[in-house]
Structure 1
Amino acid sequence: MSMNYRPSHTKPSSTLNSLKVLETVARFGTGTTAKEITDALQMPQATAYRVLNSLVADEYLARTSDLRGFALGHAISGLITAATPPTVPTAARDAIQEFRSKNRFAVHLIMFRNSSLRIADEDPDYPLHSVFEMLRYPHMSAAGKLMLAEMGDSAAPFPKGPLMGLTPQTITDKALLEKQLEEIRANDEATEINELEEGSASLAFPVRLNDEPAGAALCLTSPAERFSATCQHEDEARDLALRLAPLLF
């Protein structure tokens, strides 16, 4: 089956070539040969081998053990994870929904994937606001700060350059943020008040299995003026986080 490589008078970019080769290997499966790729894409052999060698070097593709074909490599897993919504078992969703039904604040489950936040179970009655900013700038949200605290010294916790600020309360000083992350590690919870959005506050608890790093955050979100009342449910939220861990990981 031809995938219409491109007419000879049009010079495709190396990026497009790489994406089409990856697509072909994903479609044909482990063991896809260079000939199958050139036939499917009507791609010149020299171009195909140049693209294949580059993708193997960058670990987006891997050679099969017999060296006759190719398979998707280790580096592609990050792309697959980013494109695939987190899976939340029915039992975990039911436990979260039961907790929601007893309270008048939002309850969200946020997963940690490849040093980024992923929305796993959003409260349908109180949808998240400023979603793009929360996912892009983890230092602004309780869930994001909890993730940064969990990363510790295993990875650079902050982006290069100055920290982005959305409100006057957003922490943009890296030294001050690091101090807060130390407090989060000590207290095993993270808070955010008017930092992501004026008038909103959030409390996040880690969801972890045994002594492993947290893989998610259970977040309680409410208007800032009612945040103290929301915090009174800390014990129930921590208990739910403990019950969620074996269901999620």
Structure 2
Amino acid sequence: MTNSLRILETVARLGTGTTAKEITEALQMPPATAYRLLNALVGDEYLARTSDLRGFALGHAISGLITAATPPTISAAARAVIDEFRSGNRFAVHLIMFRNASLRIADEDPDYPLQSAFNLCRYPHASAAGKLMLAELADAVPFALPRGPLTKLTPDTITDKRQLAAVLAEVRAEGEATEVNELEQGFARLAVPVRLNDGPVGGALCLSGPTERFTGIRQHADSARELASRLAPFLF
């Protein structure tokens, strides 16, 4: 793995068209080792061959990693629309974007910051935004969920994968997702999809508050959907 990373770093430093000879010379690596690793990296799409087949460039998989790791940014216009909505209700409003079957916090409510941001991004099965992503991006579910047991963050976290599959089917049918004491004890959230022109879902608008106020949160579902519709052109 170390040699593979060194090869990727060399291609990134020398640029598109870097040859196998340049890589072996820069790394003082035996040609047989370099060619074996280069073929593996091309097969996994971390590298791509140039059109003349003489050199290499960074591949699609690297672009995906960069995209997933980079915090999402939103325009001032999108932020203004969210802030206007926040001023008219008593619940936290967060915008979560979907990146390569993962969650990224795009706009956190400054007055009610997330207390479990790390768990929200890491354990999609436990959050309303995560369940919305898993339900809408059905093909990504095997990739997004761990192969082993699901982590139980609270006594109410769903850890049975068959039960989770049934919940995701309900989310797909209803077009919204909820969590009650599943990500964080004492808190409940509603997530509605943010999509453009009925296309793929690219994010979730989340309303959050104490569990005892969940009924009030649900009453804002229609206004949240309207906001999500207004936001979409500014985000995609």
TM-score, length basis structure 1: 0.86
Any idea what the Cα deviations from partners look like across 1:175-227, whole Å, max 9, x if unmatched? 32222222211211111111111111100000011222211000011111122
Name the SS for the 1:219 alignment partner: strand
Q: Distance in 2 between matches of 1:189 and 1:109?
A: 14
Cα 1:101–1:190 change in 2 (3 A) is same
Number of residue pairs matched by the alignment: 235
Instruction: Name the amino acid aligned to 2:99.
Output: R
Matched, 1:193 2:180: yes
2:204 and 2:76 map into 1 onto residues whose CA distance is: 18
Aligned match of 2:113: 127
CA distance in 2, matches of 1:18, 1:173: 37
Structure 1: which 5+ residue stretches go unaligned? Answer: 1-14
Q: Which 4+ stretches in 1 moved above 4 angstroms? A: none
1:4-83, aligned counterparts within 5 Å?
15-83=1-69
| Distance in 2 between residues matched to 1:223 and 1:81, nearest whole Å | 33
Match of 1:221 in 2: 208
Which sits farther off after the overlay, 95-104 or 65-74? Answer: 95-104
CA distance in 2, matches of 1:36, 1:222: 57
Whole-Å Cα distance in 1 between the matches of residues 220 and 205 of structure 2?
12
What is the alpha-carbon distance in structure 2 between the residues aligned to residue 65 and residue 55 of structure 1?
Answer: 17
How far is the alpha carbon of 1:54 from its aligned partner? 2.3
* CA deviation profile, 1:153-184 (whole Å, cap 9, x unmatched): 56537543332212221122223222222221
Distance across 2 between alignment mates of 1:36 and 1:26: 13
Report the Cα distance in structure 2 between the residues aligned to 1:57 and 1:170, rounded to whole angstroms.
Answer: 38
* Within-5 A mapping of 1:80-91: 80-91=66-77
The Cα of 1:150 is off from its aligned counterpart by 0.5
Deviation readout 1:14-50 (Å, 9 max, x if unpaired): x222112111212222112223333433444444333
- Tell me, in whole angstroms, the C-alpha distance in 1 between the residues paired with 2:123 and 2:220: 27
Deviation at 1:102, TM superposition (A): 2.0
RMSD: 1.9
Return the index of the structure with the highest Cα Rg. 1
* Equivalent residue, structure 1, for 2:199: 212
The offset of 1:122, in angstroms, is 1.2
Could you tell me how far 1:71 is from its partner in structure 2?
0.6
Q: Matched residues, percent identical?
A: 73
Could you tell me how far apart the structure 2 residues matched to 1:102 and 1:239 are? Answer: 14
Q: Does 1:175 align with 2:158?
A: no
Query: Helix, strand or coil for the counterpart of 2:60?
Result: coil
In 2, the alpha carbon distance for the partners of 1:129 and 1:206 equals: 22
* AA at the equivalent of 1:174: K
Query: Corresponding residue for 1:151?
Result: 137
**Equivalent residue, structure 2, for 1:245:** 232
| TM-score (norm. length: structure 2) | 0.91
- Alpha-carbon distance in structure 2 between the residues aligned to 1:172 and 1:38: 48
Q: What is the aligned counterpart of 2:81 among 92, 95, 99?
A: 95
The 2-side partners of 1:205 and 1:71 are apart by 39
